[in-house]
């Protein structure tokens, strides 16, 4: 149907208002909201991902597309039938934050945008987050992934602290831990006991999918 | 006559838009004392943000205090305001370095830091020592203080007193510097460097940062205002937008500092960089780094402030031709624009790596860029019409006193590193690269360096201060 193509195109072009208007139209026309997502929004985002891989799209293109996508999904959520929204309830839960003493948020925010657009459920702890907060959030939300962001050589030690705490509280086996930030390395990830490391948002998303075998 | 990339109209609009942003959008300012100081002076609160009236900003921009720094050996004097020429210093700080002997990137130790300082002390084109390496074998809570502590003990040159992110650190940095100078009064009279503080871009001054600004302004020591916006990530992607936001961050800083102490000596910096739009990481492979520095130098001069800009930068993670041309290009713009300080010595990979060999090679790059920093003598004597006459009538230039005398007066570039011999001779001497020469020069410097440059009593006092700081942090 033409409307699905138009929706994909609006997402591809990062046009939030237009995407919202189109899905609104779709609802009014009686189209199944689940189909609007799977045949309209998702193919749009897939194309965005492809253009990024090919080097035609960059982060701002991704962000705007993700914003259009997320806006439409927020609008459609209440319209989904019970059975279909169960599918969204089974979404992977991710706890993510930037460690204590560190105010950097951009990488984390980009990853969050894209995780949301991929259907994950995100618990964003913000910045300057004490290690105990990470543990509490993992316990409370039954998270499957913990993303720990640190961008300064002076704050990366917190990543080890958090992982040690997870071990102490018998939570380590229940989650996949990914550490993020430019000063890190594979070696560092091994040293602190993480499952994976990513220097930037795009590799972060890919590594998470790998960890969960969702690719 | 400095290179001026911005026109008068450009400067005017940059200033005007800066005032508009501060007045209409303002900056996030936290910390009770800072908010009270600014609000009492006329700033209006909008949630976490304070709006700065134009009149307030204009008022506190006027009559800037001249800035002069001195060596640890205080006979070395560096006037920063209306400096006779640009000065150079190293970058800072990272905890990993590229060890070219092993070609490995490894963590920096206290020993590496001391060597870096000794090398910096010995390089002829490095004017102020910044302790570039953060040692990983020292207790983490005092690693930053230790950097300043060692810098003060191994060089006679001016020393960057340190970058601090809270008032506690400022107090301890000041104590370390005062220990070397002999007293607080002597330190304020002859500071060996500045205190640097970085707000968070965009336009965000958290409580610890405003506390640090207030503490340093009260001390009377010079303060370097060090915002680090990244175009496309934490500032507008445009160069003009990045410069304006950076300018707004400086001006908000100036207002707070000068409300606390009207005579705070201040240095305006440019660390404006751009993000790679694929990874979101800051790019060092970028001619705009130097170009931004040139623009910022011009903006700073329009406010009567000394500037600190980049400088030597590259995306390369090794010492190679990419590092060579990128660094040379990026340093030339700000040097020609008459920036007060040009930074970056010893860095690689957008400042994520340190390298002692690159530090030595950078001394050569700056040597070339600064070769005619004091200008060129254009006089009848220098021109030597009568020398030409003498040679034309049967002499040789080689045998002229004019040649012998002027040869020793900076007319011929006499660099230390790099080949200038013809190919066969170069080959006969072992086909050596500038990198190999740098390694040799390091060995020579370290074998000849006198070691600690301060008295034992001073070193003991410094150790006590560090111990006190460490125990305070571990309570």
CA A122, A127, A130: angle at the middle one, nearest 5? 95
pLDDT of B267 over the 70 cut: yes
Domain span at B266: 68-369
Q: Is the dihedral of CA A101, A105, A106, A110 positive or negative?
A: positive
Protein fold of A2-87: 1.10.1240
Count residue pairs from A and B with Cβ separation < 8 A.
39
Please compute the mean of the pLDDT values over residues B52-66 and round it to a whole number. Answer: 96
User: Do B268 and B291 share a domain, yes or no?
Assistant: yes
pLDDT digits (tens, 9 = 90+) for B63-81: 999 999 999 999 999 999 9
Whether B374 is in a domain gets the answer no
Query: Shortest CB distance from B281 goes to which of A52, A154, A200?
Result: A200
Are residues B98 and B229 part of one domain? Answer: yes
Q: Is B278 on the interface with A (CB under 8 A)?
A: yes
In B243-349 the beta strands, taken as DSSP E runs, fall at: 266-269, 273-274, 307-310, 341-345, 347-348
> Which residue in the block uniquely carries the two structure tokens 């939030």?
A16
CATH of A91-211, one of 3.40.720.10, 2.140.10.10, 3.40.50.280, 3.40.50.300: 3.40.50.280
Q: What is the pLDDT of residue B258?
A: 98
Q: Are residues B361 and B384 part of one domain?
A: no
User: How far is it, in rounded angstroms, from Cα B149 to Cα B174?
Assistant: 11
Distance of CA B330 to the CA centre of its chain: 14
Q: Which has the higher per-residue pLDDT, B105 or B475?
A: B105
Write the pLDDT tens digit of every residue in A165-190. Answer: 999 999 999 999 999 987 788 888 99
**Residue of chain A with shortest Cα separation from B282:** A182
Task: Specify the pLDDT at position A215.
Answer: 43
Q: How is the beta sheet containing B223-225 ordered, strand by strand?
A: B87-90, B341-345, B307-310, B266-269, B223-225, B195-197, B162-163
pLDDT of res. A208: 86
For the stretch A73-82, contacts whose Cβ atoms lie closer than 8 Å and that sit 24 or more positions apart, written own/partner, are: A73/A37, A73/A41, A73/A116, A73/A117, A75/A20, A75/A23, A75/A24, A76/A23, A76/A27, A76/A33, A76/A36, A76/A37, A79/A27, A79/A33, A80/A33, A80/A34, A81/A34
**Domain match, B179 and B286 both:** yes
CA-CA-CA-CA dihedral for B172, B174, B176, B177, to nearest 10:
170
Tokens in use for B317? 């993670």
CA distance B221 to B191: 7
Q: Are residues B286 and B384 in the same domain?
A: no
Contact residues for A164 (Cβ-Cβ < 8 A; gap 6+): A193
Q: How far is A85 from chain B (nearest CA, A)?
A: 33
Residue, of A172 and B475, whose pLDDT is higher: A172
Distances (CA, A) of B285 to A35, B246, B281: 45, 21, 11
Same domain assignment for residues B216 and B361: yes
| pLDDT reading at B295 higher than 90 | yes
* pLDDT score of B424 more than 90: yes
Residue A83 has pLDDT above 60, yes or no: no
Are residues B179 and B100 part of one domain? yes
At A89, is the pLDDT very low, low, confident or very high (cuts 50, 70, 90)?
low
Write down the residue that tokens 């897939």 correspond to. Answer: A46
Q: Is the pLDDT of residue B306 over 70?
A: yes
Find the largest Cα–Cα distance for chain A.
56
Residue B284, domain member (yes or no)? yes
**CA–CA separation, B213 and A186 (whole Å):** 38
Taking only the tens place, the pLDDT of each residue in A100-156 is: 988 788 788 888 887 887 778 899 999 999 999 999 999 999 999 999 999 877 788
Residue A129 phi, psi (nearest 5): -95, 120
Give the whole-angstrom CA distance, residue B192 versus residue B153. 12
Looking at the structure, tell me whether residues B22 and B154 fall in a common domain: no
**pTM of the model as a whole:** 0.90
Say whether A60 and B277 touch across the interface (CB within 8 A).
Answer: yes
| Separation of alpha carbons B141 and A193, rounded Å | 23
Query: Do residue B157 and residue B261 come from a single domain?
Result: yes
Check residue B143 and report its DSSP letter: H
User: DSSP characters for B198-245?
Assistant: --BTTTEE-HHHHHHHHHHHHHT--EEE----EETTTB-SSHHHHHHH
Q: Are A147 and A107 in contact (CB under 8 A)?
A: no
ipTM of model: 0.81
- Over residues B216-228, the mean pLDDT reads 98
Give kind and range of the element (H or E) at residue B298. Answer: helix B288-302
Contacts of B96 in chain A (CB under 8 A): 153
Check CB contact under 8 Å for A103 and B277.
no
- The pLDDT, as a whole number, for residue B149 is 97
Output the average pLDDT for chain A: 88
pLDDT at B21 over 90: yes
CB contact, 8 Å: B317 with chain A?
no
With respect to residue B298, please indicate whether it lies within any of the assigned structural domains. yes
pLDDT at B439: 95
Q: Which residue of A has its CA nearest to B93?
A: A153
- DSSP structural state of residue A173: G
| B187, B177 Cβ separation under 8 angstroms | yes
Q: Does B277 touch chain A (CB under 8 A)?
A: yes
Smallest Cβ–Cβ distance between A106 and the set B95, B96, B280 belongs to B280
Percent of chain B with pLDDT over 70: 100
The structural domain count of chain B equals 3
Is A146 strand, coil or helix? strand
Same CATH topology for A2-87 and A91-211: the answer is no
Cα nearest neighbour of B283 on chain A: A182
* Paired tokens of A120: 């994950």
Cα B358 vs. chain centroid, distance in angstroms? 16
What pLDDT was estimated at residue B449? Answer: 96
Per-residue pLDDT band for B388 (boundaries 50, 70, 90) equals very high
Cβ B280–A110 below 8 Å, yes or no?
Answer: yes
User: Chain A within 8 Å of B134 (Cβ-Cβ)?
Assistant: yes
Closest CB to A157 among B134, B140, B234: B140
Nearest CA in chain A to B279: A200
Check if the beta carbon of residue B96 is closer than 8 Å to that of residue B130: no
Q: Does A50 touch chain B (CB under 8 A)?
A: no
Report the b/e string of B204-229 with b at 16+ CB within 10 A: bbbbbbbbbbbbbbebbbbbbbbbbb
Specify the pairing of strand B230-231 against strand B204-205: unpaired
Residue B440: inside a domain, yes or no?
A: no
What are the residues facing B407 on neighbouring strands?
Answer: none
Q: Based on the domain organization, do B293 and B396 belong to the same domain? A: no
Of B94, B233, B277, the CB nearest to A153: B94
pLDDT at A88: 57
Nearest chain A alpha carbon to B278 = A58
Average the pLDDT over B70-97 and give the result.
Answer: 94
Same-domain pairing of B148 and B112: yes
- Show me where the domains of chain A are located: 2-87, 91-211
A59 touches chain B (CB under 8 A): yes
Q: Does the pLDDT at position B187 exceed 50?
A: yes
Question: B14-18, B136-140, B320-324, B336-340 — which is least confidently predicted?
Answer: B136-140
Helix axes B167-181, B456-474, angle to 10 degrees: 170
């Amino acid at each position: 149907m033409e409307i699905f193509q138009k929706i994909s195109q609006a997402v591809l072009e990062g046009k939030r208002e237009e995407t919202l208007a189109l899905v609104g139209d779709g609802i009014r026309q009686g189209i199944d909201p689940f189909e609007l997502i799977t045949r309209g929004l998702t193919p749009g985002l897939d194309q965005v991902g492809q253009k990024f891989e090919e080097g035609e799209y960059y982060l701002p293109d991704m962000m705007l597309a993700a914003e259009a996508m997320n806006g439409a999904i927020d609008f459609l959520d209440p319209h989904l039938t019970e059975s279909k929204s169960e599918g969204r309830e089974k979404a992977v839960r991710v706890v993510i934050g930037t460690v204590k003493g560190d105010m950097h948020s951009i990488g984390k925010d980009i990853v969050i945008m894209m995780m949301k657009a991929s259907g994950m459920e995100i618990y964003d702890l913000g910045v300057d987050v004490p290690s105990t907060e990470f543990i509490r959030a993992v316990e409370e939300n039954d998270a499957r992934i913990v993303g720990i962001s640190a961008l300064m050589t002076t704050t990366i030690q917190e990543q080890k602290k958090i992982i040690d705490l997870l071990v102490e509280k018998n939570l380590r086996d229940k989650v996949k831990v990914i550490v993020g930030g430019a000063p890190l390395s594979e070696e560092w990830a091994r040293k602190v006991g993480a499952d994976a490391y990513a220097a930037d948002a795009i590799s972060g998303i890919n590594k998470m999918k790998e960890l969960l075998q969702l690719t | 006559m400095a290179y001026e990339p911005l026109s008068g109209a450009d400067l005017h609009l940059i200033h005007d838009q800066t005032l508009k942003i501060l007045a209409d959008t303002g900056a996030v300012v936290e910390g009770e004392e800072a908010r009270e100081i600014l609000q009492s002076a006329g700033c209006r609160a909008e949630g976490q943000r304070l709006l700065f009236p134009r009149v307030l900003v204009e008022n506190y921009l006027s009559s800037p205090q001249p800035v002069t720094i001195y060596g640890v050996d205080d006979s070395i004097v560096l006037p920063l305001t209306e400096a006779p020429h640009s000065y150079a210093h190293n970058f800072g700080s990272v905890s990993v370095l590229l060890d070219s002997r092993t070609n490995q990137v490894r963590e920096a130790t206290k020993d590496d830091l001391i060597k870096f300082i000794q090398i910096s002390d010995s390089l002829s084109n490095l004017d102020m020592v910044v302790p570039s390496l953060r040692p990983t074998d020292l207790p983490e809570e005092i690693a930053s203080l230790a950097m300043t502590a060692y810098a003060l003990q191994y060089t006679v040159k001016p020393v960057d007193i340190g970058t601090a992110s809270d008032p506690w650190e400022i107090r301890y940095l000041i104590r370390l510097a005062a220990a070397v100078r002999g007293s607080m009064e002597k330190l304020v009279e002859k500071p060996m460097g500045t205190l640097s503080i970085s707000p968070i871009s965009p336009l965000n001054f958290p409580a610890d940062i405003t506390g640090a600004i207030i503490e340093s302004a009260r001390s009377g020591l010079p303060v370097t205002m060090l915002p680090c916006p990244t175009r496309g990530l934490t500032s507008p992607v445009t160069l003009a937008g990045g410069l304006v936001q950076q300018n707004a961050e400086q001006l908000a800083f100036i207002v707070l500092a000068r409300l606390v102490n009207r005579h705070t000596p201040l240095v305006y910096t440019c660390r404006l960089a751009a993000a790679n739009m694929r990874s979101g990481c800051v790019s060092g492979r970028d001619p705009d780094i130097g170009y931004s520095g040139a623009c910022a130098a011009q903006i700073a001069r329009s406010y009567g402030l000394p500037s600190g800009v980049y400088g030597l930068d590259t995306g390369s993670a090794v010492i190679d031709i990419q590092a060579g041309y990128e660094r040379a290009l990026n340093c030339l713009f700000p040097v020609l624009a008459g920036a007060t300080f040009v930074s970056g010595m010893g860095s690689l990979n957008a400042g994520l790596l340190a390298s002692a060999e690159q530090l030595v090679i950078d001394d050569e790059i700056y040597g070339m860029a600064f070769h005619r920093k004091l200008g060129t003598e254009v006089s009848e004597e220098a021109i030597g019409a009568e020398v030409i006459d003498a040679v034309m009538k049967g002499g040789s230039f080689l045998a002229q006193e004019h040649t012998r005398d002027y040869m020793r007066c900076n007319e011929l570039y006499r660099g230390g590193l790099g080949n200038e011999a013809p190919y066969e001779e170069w080959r006969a001497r072992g086909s050596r690269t500038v990198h190999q020469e740098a390694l040799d020069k390091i060995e020579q410097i370290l074998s000849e360096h006198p070691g600690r440059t301060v008295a034992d009593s001073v070193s003991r006092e410094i150790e006590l201060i560090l111990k006190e700081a460490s125990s305070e942090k571990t309570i």
